[in-house]
Amino acid sequence: MGIYLFMVYKVIGDDGVAISKQYPLVVSTWPFKEAVRAAWRAVDGGHSAVDAVVEGCSACEELRCDGTVGPGGSPDENGETTIDALIMNGVTMEVGAVAAMRFVKDGIRAAKLVMQHTKHTLLVGEKASAFAISMGLPGPSNLSSSDSIRKWSKWKENNCQPNFWKDVVPLDSCGPYHAKASMDVKEGGCSTRNLMGVAEPRSSLVGPHNHDTISMAVIDKMGHVAVGTSTNGATYKIPGRVGDGPIAGSSAYADTDVGACGATGDGDIMMRFLPCYQVVESMRLGMEPRLAAKDAISRIARKFPDFVGAVVAVNKNGVHAGACHGWTFEYSVRSPVTVDVEVFTVLP
């Protein structure tokens, strides 16, 4: 058994109270233990928070965590798998991201290349693929797998249900779709009726095994913070759909002066609220991670009571907490005071 050496730094806060800082630290959505271990090996070995995030998310892509990260899972309506990913440096506030990327499996590495070698924040679609390949990543390659094709085929046999369309009429059971001539509109907004005319909660479309994201935060030995995400998006999404994964402030956000946040769940709803930006700004104003996470989730739940999602918050001192709605959430942590990854369970 190895011996882990770590340092606990004590500094004096603005209120004169001693604060213990324990790092390095790795925090990730879900029990993606191998991804956390990969990030920990990097950061514990002296690598930067940014590089550790890349190693952790890349491991999840290679392992195809839950079938919802990396290639080979979550087919869209055409049966194709595409990749969304993001990385953010909490020191410089630089962000690199790719969305709806085809033919390239290395989402998080492509996102880092956007951050390193362009003055842009987000590249999308086939042009993101071309950029990634030009920067040395392998491709083009088929991102589908036998599992994803089998899943897609069963969905087609079920008349392409459930899906993400609303207020449309299909030419046949699987489209193409056209807007209704006379839409069923409620006062103040559109109906959420599906094609059968029955109200369908969004929670039936989104769950832990059909729409998931690894969102990882790392604090390195210098106390620098970075975050990253990777996902292949919502299963049976409409081609071209981009969720919260590559959107800074929604799926993840980091500021070394404050801390970080990672999110997972129904990205189409969550991205309307920028929950991770909200969490970090709440912590900046002095709110502890537990309350900041709970507040961000409750803001969404008040408007969308049937949404499914979660956030995990960590402040610059390494204090972490999660909050969720619509499901039981788990997140993983590796710190200097543990000998392996710990999984924390958060109840809705």
Which one of 213, 229, 235, 256 is the catalytic residue?
A: 213
Ligand-binding site membership of 264 (annotated): yes
Tell me the C-alpha to C-alpha distance, in Å, between residue 79 and each of 92, 221, 289: 38, 43, 39
Side-chain-side CA neighbours of 297 within 13 Å: the count stands at 31
- List residues bridging with 322 in a β-sheet: 312
Q: How many residues does the chain have?
A: 348
Q: For residue 213, indicate whether it is catalytic.
A: yes
Ligand-binding site membership of 64 (annotated): no
Ligand-binding site membership of 56 (annotated): no
Q: Count the neighbouring beta carbons within 10 Å of the beta carbon of residue 34.
A: 16
Ligand-binding site membership of 189 (annotated): no
- Specify whether the CB–CB gap between 80 and 114 falls below 8 A: no
3-state secondary structure of 149: helix
Whether the link from the prior residue into 31 is cis, omega within 30° of 0, is no
Burial degree of 14 (CB within 10 A; 0-12, 13-18, 19+): exposed
Ligand-binding site membership of 27 (annotated): no
Ligand-binding site membership of 266 (annotated): yes
Going by the DSSP 8-state scheme, the letter that residue 341 receives in this structure is -
Ligand-binding site membership of 233 (annotated): no
Please report how the helices 33-44 and 49-63 are oriented relative to each other, as an axis angle in degrees rounded to 10: 150
CA–CA separation, 89 vs 127, rounded Å? Answer: 24
Ligand-binding site membership of 244 (annotated): yes
Q: What residue numbers does the annotated binding site for substrate cover?
A: 241-244, 264-267
Q: What residue numbers does the annotated binding site cover?
A: 241-244, 264-267
User: Annotated catalytic sites, by residue?
Assistant: 213
